[in-house]
Chains A and B, each alone.
Chain A
């Protein structure tokens, strides 16, 4: 936190004319933060490790080679005892209050620390989740679009077959139409020829009848009354004979 002050003052020092530039170059080996702003360096996952909530782990690691595990604790105890015995730190009423407020703070952090941290993490998680949802929906939309495009391409392939079938259809229709018309033409021609035949038949029949009528007329007009009597008497005689024969056949 106080490093922020140093950082800001260092910035202003660097930008100030003559000495600033020289200092920056000379102290380059001591500069530990990244020298570029982009791409933004990733944030460490967790903060620096601390022991007992206050003392950075680096102190313990620094003292370990020379003083072992209990080194820093001995250092701390010794410091406190020194301060107390020499009355560099005087025990007064504030000490009692410090114990009090220290208990409250430690208890509060221990009890509610994890909950608060989880809540803050959830705020960040929601933010990331929203962006993730947008990204996922966009990706799924694009995947769907790709599939639709592929289907359209497959459909286009099928279109050739569709056109062939349609062409066949049309050809069949034309063929059928042509045949129908031919049939119609044949029928019409046959009808006309039949008419002519019927006309001829009628003509012949009329001629025949006319001739028969003329012949009959002539024959009838040529029959004399004498001939008529003779023929009637003959008919009667024939009939009598026939009747006799028939009676004879019936009796037999």
Chain B
């Protein structure tokens, strides 16, 4: 069975059971809930500490009514970070490299914040379509541009995450294929490509964390505008 470079992005199915469901429920297993103990073990303590730090950091600029979204955004952050970093391991499938999942998350959440803003404070939300301090002459054009940018947001959110991860995985595959092939032909070049692969893996690890954080940060920004 010849493998193309894109076969790693196929949704895994075994005997017609979609394994992507197991892949998506991975964070639920890795992050245990509160225990009956006062002092927990290292893993749980570190998870709790990191999550509380991240959440307080993200929700610092948001006013109090927006803190209702803390649970949603923090669980989204955990989900994305786990998906991305688990996808770094060999022979794994990264659900967040699929446009379907990312667009589902981005579209639904973006629409949620926009509808929230339009329903609770429509004037304030529509006011964001005209940036402050703009010359009065440009108002019509600016409103059109801002509306387009508003509707581009979910697409941008979803595609950003998909593209980053897909590109990263593809690059890793290409580089490792090159290293493998060159190992027998030109070993020194293989060492060079191997070094490149090493650096690329480090980059991918960083990208995995950063892209998840950026996704949640942008959503919190949209929330800040509308809540």
Contacts and interface: CB of A to CB of B under 8 A. Distances in A.
Whether chain B is bound by chain A comes out as yes
Main secondary structure of the interface of B (DSSP, over half): helix
A220 interface: no
The secondary-structure label for the interface of chain A is helix
Contacts of A169: none
B81 to A, nearest CB: 16
A1 interface: yes
A123 interface: yes
Report the interface size class on chain B.
20 to 34
Contact of B30 (A1, A92, A103): A1
A123 B197 contact: no
B217 interface: no
B88 interface: yes
Interface stretch (B37-45, B98-106, B107-115): B37-45
A116 B46 contact: yes
Contacts of A1: 29-30
B54 interface: no
A100 B178 CA distance: 14
B179 A4 contact: no
B151 interface: no
Contact of A40 (B37, B88, B179, B198): B37
A113 to B, nearest CB: 11
Interface of A: 1-2, 4-5, 37, 40, 43, 47, 91-98, 100-101, 103-104, 116-117, 120-121, 123-124, 127-128
Interface of B: 3, 29-30, 32, 36-42, 45-46, 49, 88-91, 172-173, 176-177, 179-180, 183, 194, 197-198, 201-202, 205
